Amino acid sequence: MKRCQKVLTRIRQLLHREDGGALAELAILVPFLAVMLAGVCEFGRYFQNYNTAAKGTRAAARYLSNHKLTAAEIDRAQSLVVCGKLACTGSDRPLLTNLTKANVCVESTGTPKVTSVTVRLPTPDLACNPTTNAPAASPYTYRPIFNIGALLGTSLSMALPIAPSVTMYYMID
């Protein structure tokens, strides 16, 4: 009987102690914090990539609004979007991972006189309708670092299309 009493007393003491409470709470919260950190990082990277692509398309549209729409000038404008320079060389890294000239769409409105020029990265839903001397373009998709869907156990994917578009008036008569 005394032995049973000692065991019950010891169990009561263990139940009233709070030595490992903080560690247990940390073990419960760490997975949620890791998923939240991954999500914040991916959203930040997505918007940074979108902002970079938007600035590139703006620079290319501004360039084309003041130059004739020849194949050489369109190629230079596409280089502005891809690597930030008028001419990309083999050693130049693209501004965005896996972005190529094949992802840049150059369109114009007005016939026979061009009135505006649009430079954009097309989406899967809205295909490229290239101007004369411009090649067709394919969509550009963001490539996430973390597979958040796998972390959450769902099919959620951050592999979203990045599709900025800039239209400017064509300044050449």
pLDDT in tens, 26-37: 889 998 898 889
Higher pLDDT, 84 or 132: 84
Domain with 84, as residue range(s), is 41-169
Rounded-to-integer distance, Cα 133 and Cα 71, Å: 5
Q: How does residue 75 score in pLDDT terms, banded at 50, 70 and 90? A: very high
Of the pLDDT bands very low, low, confident and very high (cuts 50, 70, 90), residue 152 is confident
User: How many Cβ atoms are within 10 Å of 166's Cβ, its own excluded?
Assistant: 20
pLDDT confidence of residue 89: 87
How many domains does the chain contain in total? Answer: 1
Is 101 among the domain residues?
A: yes
Whether residue 136 lies inside any domain: the answer is yes
Q: Does residue 60 fall inside a structural domain?
A: yes
Q: What percent of the chain has pLDDT over 90?
A: 50
Cα radius of gyration (the chain): 28
Q: Is residue 17 part of a domain?
A: no
Counting residues of the chain whose pLDDT is more than 70, the rounded percentage is 99
Please give the pLDDT value at position 159. 87
Q: Is residue 31 part of a domain?
A: no
What is the SS3 assignment for 153?
Answer: coil
- The residue ranking higher by pLDDT, 8 or 62, is 62
The confidence band for 96, taking pLDDT boundaries of 50, 70 and 90, is very high
5 token code pair: 């009493």
- Cα 143 to Cα 13, 98, 112: the distances in Å are 54, 9, 40
In 3-state terms the chain splits into helix, strand, coil percentages (rounded to 5) of: 45, 10, 45
Q: How far apart are CA 111 and CA 109, in angstroms?
A: 7
The helix (run of H) or strand (run of E) holding residue 143 is: none
Model confidence band, residue 110 (pLDDT cutoffs 50, 70, 90): confident
**Average pLDDT score, the chain:** 88
Residue 81 buriedness (CB in 10 A; 0-12 / 13-18 / 19+)? buried
32: in domain: no
Residue 118 covered by a domain: yes
pLDDT value at position 73?
94
DSSP string, 61-104: HHHHHTS---HHHHHHHHHHHHHSSSS--TTPPPSSTT--GGG-
In 3D space, the residue among 47, 43, 65, 79 whose CA is nearest the CA of residue 166 turns out to be 65
- Whether 148 maps to a domain, the answer reads yes
